[in-house]
Amino acid sequence: MTFATLGLIEPLLRALETLGYQTPTPVQTQAIPAVLAGRDLMAAAQTGTGKTAGFALPLLQLLAMEGPKVSANSVRALILVPTRELAEQVHESVRQYAENLPLSTYAVYGGVSINPQMMKLRKGVDLLVATPGRLLDLFRQNALKFNQLQTLVLDEADRMLDLGFSEELGNIYKALPKKRQTLLFSATFSDAIRTLAGQMLNDPLSIEVSPRNVAANTVKQWVVTVDKKRKPELFVHLMRKGKWTQVLVFAKTRNGVDALVEKLQGLGINADGIHGDKPQATRQRALDRFKASEVQILVATDVAARGLDIEDLPLVVNFDLPIVAEDYIHRIGRTGRAGATGQAISLVCADEVNQLSAIEMLTRQTLTRQMEQDFEPEHRVPDTDASGQVVKKPKKPKKPKTSSGGKRNLGKWVESGDASAPEPSIKPVRKVPVFNTGPRKRKP
């Protein structure tokens, strides 16, 4: 299979040759002909599968071959993405694919001044990449009209809902022409996503390129158990021992990111952090420097978990496990991309056992555990497995009180010290559900 046999036009083929793409990935093989044929699409595809080219290439071809010239303040194709970083990244890919086509492309997102964006939109843009909030602001200020819109792409739709954009999506939906092509991409398919798809898509073709909710199998994953307060020390120890060169680290909170970065910098380690409280320019700079290998350790909240494509990232460390189990898949998806192998290490303390259990249930695997010498936890992390059960070692049975104070017949229990005694049965204490993935606050 080649890109030419998928029906792509010569200017796109030339751009792909420049980029060194030789063979289409499975999502591209399925999506490109369907989009060219005008179908709506509902695609289950993780980041790293080449999904951006899967929708962007046929979209650009349709824009180049069909439809009127774009009018002032209008847009012909719209790609909605959950985060500013992803908007930049998707736009950069689109720009490269459109290199040889006479099409205008642009990206708009919040956290930066709106005025230059309004100026740029005056002439109209063929393809716009946008985050939902800023797009609505621009629409409400009459900087944007949707009457020429032919195609809508919802990229990382599940993440947009997780970040609380469902109201914005509803308002955008109301403003769009009813006759249009819609493509929905999501790593996971919750009921909320299926409802969204039901509203927005018309007789969609469903494609699935990797099993639902399963992490990329090119990533070697394991857990190191440790006490919470010793995590920073363990991180530095593992880093030195493993001679880590470029690591993306995920922490749960903004404070957690800042504290770890401060600790690492205090030790002379080249580290930086990104989270939702930092200005957009600072976030982008840190990311660019990390991509250019000018920063060795980038510590992030889940704002960086989705969609970011960092070439050859060898290692992801979960300093804290995510609250939402699906985020684990997105975090570790930053490594092992496009067929490369990667490693994902999670530092897990006893408090996080329910999160660990939910992740194992979601990814249908029991993660291998290790303990690091001198860092063995005082608070043991209870056993977990892919069935979603947390297994606690049973307490020693209390000696039953008898009126005489003597020993009752203990039935199957055997006096301690008897080496032939059977192991006490291990009882699952509770079933742990996958964590709620309902609306969350905007800035993680």
Report the nearest approach of ligand AMP to the CB of residue 156 (Å). Answer: 10
CA–CA gap between residue 362 and residue 212 (Å, rounded): 9
By the rule CB under 6 A, 309 interacts with ligand AMP: yes
HEC readout, 283-339: HHHHHHHHHCCCCCEEEECHHHCCCCCCCCCCEEEECCCCCCHHHHHHHHCCCCHHH
Give the nearest distance from C-beta 93 to ligand AMP in angstroms: 6
Minimum CB–partner distance for residue 239 and ligand AMP (Å): 26
Report whether 111 contacts 279 (CB < 8 A): yes
CB 21, min distance to ligand AMP, A: 4
Cβ 292 to ligand AMP shortest distance, Å: 15
Q: Does 53 bind ligand AMP (CB under 6 A)?
A: yes
Asked if 221 touches ligand AMP (CB under 6 A), the answer is: no
Which residues on neighbouring strands pair with residue 54, listed in sequence order? none
Q: List the Cα angle 350/353/356 in 5-degree steps.
A: 135
Please, which residue, 275 or 330, has the CB nearer to ligand AMP?
330
In three-state secondary structure terms, 30 is helix
Nearest CB to ligand AMP, comparing residues 155 and 272: 155
At its nearest, how many Å lie between ligand AMP and the CB of residue 207?
14
Distance of CA 93 to the CA centre of its chain: 18
Q: Is 338 near ligand AMP (CB under 6 A)? A: yes
Which positions from 11 to 40 touch ligand AMP by CB under 6 A, shown as an x/- string?
----------x-xxx--x------------
Options 46-54, 135-143, 203-211, 353-361: segment touching ligand AMP (CB under 6 A): 46-54
| Cα–Cα distance for residue pair 299/273, rounded to 1 Å | 5
Q: Which is nearer to ligand AMP, 25 or 301 (CB)?
A: 25
Candidate list 6, 15, 31, 47; residue touching ligand AMP; CB under 6 A? 47
Residue 148 amino acid letter: Q
Rounded to 5 degrees, what are φ and ψ at 249?
-115, 135
Minimum CB distance to ligand AMP smaller for 47 or for 61 = 47
> For the chain, how many residues are written?
444
Q: Which is nearer to ligand AMP, 49 or 437 (CB)?
A: 49
The string over 327-339, giving b where at least 16 C-beta atoms fall within 10 Å of a residue's C-beta and e elsewhere, is bbbbbbbbbbbee
Q: Does 186 bind ligand AMP (CB under 6 A)?
A: no
Minimal distance in Å, beta carbon 339 to ligand AMP?
9
Least spacing, CB of residue 28 vs ligand AMP, in Å:
6
Cα 96 to chain centroid, rounded: 23
Query: Please, which residue, 24 or 132, has the CB nearer to ligand AMP?
Result: 24
**Member of 34, 43, 50, 81 binding ligand AMP (CB under 6 A):** 50
Q: Got the DSSP string for 199-242?
A: HH-SSPEEEESS-TT---TTEEEEEEE--GGGHHHHHHHHHHHT
Considering beta carbons, is residue 47 or 188 the nearer one to ligand AMP? Answer: 47
Cα 47 from Cα 52, distance rounded (Å): 8
Buried/exposed 62-85: b ≥16 CB within 10 Å, e otherwise: bbbeeeeebeebbbbbbbbbbbbb
Residue in the structure block whose two tokens are 């499975």: 26
Are 125 and 157 within 8 A, CB to CB? no
Q: Is 278 among the residues that bind ligand AMP (CB under 6 A)?
A: no
CB of 57 to ligand AMP, least distance (A): 9
- Measured from the CB atom, the residue of 283 and 330 that comes closer to ligand AMP is 330
Closer residue to ligand AMP in complex, CB, 12/390 = 12
Q: Count interface residues toward ligand AMP (CB under 6 A).
A: 15
Give yes or no for residue 337 binding ligand AMP (CB under 6 A). Answer: yes
Q: Least distance in Å: CB of 342 to ligand AMP?
A: 13
Q: How far is the CB of 209 from ligand AMP (least distance, A)?
A: 10
Select from 51, 231, 252, 334 the one that contacts ligand AMP (CB under 6 A). 51
E strands present in 36-103 = 41-44, 75-80
Long-range Cβ contact pairs of 400-406 (< 8 A, separation 24 or more): none
Please pick, from the candidates 42, 43, 44, 52, the single residue that binds ligand AMP as defined by CB under 6 A.
Answer: 52
Footprint of ligand AMP (CB under 6 A): 21, 23-25, 28, 47-53, 309, 337-338
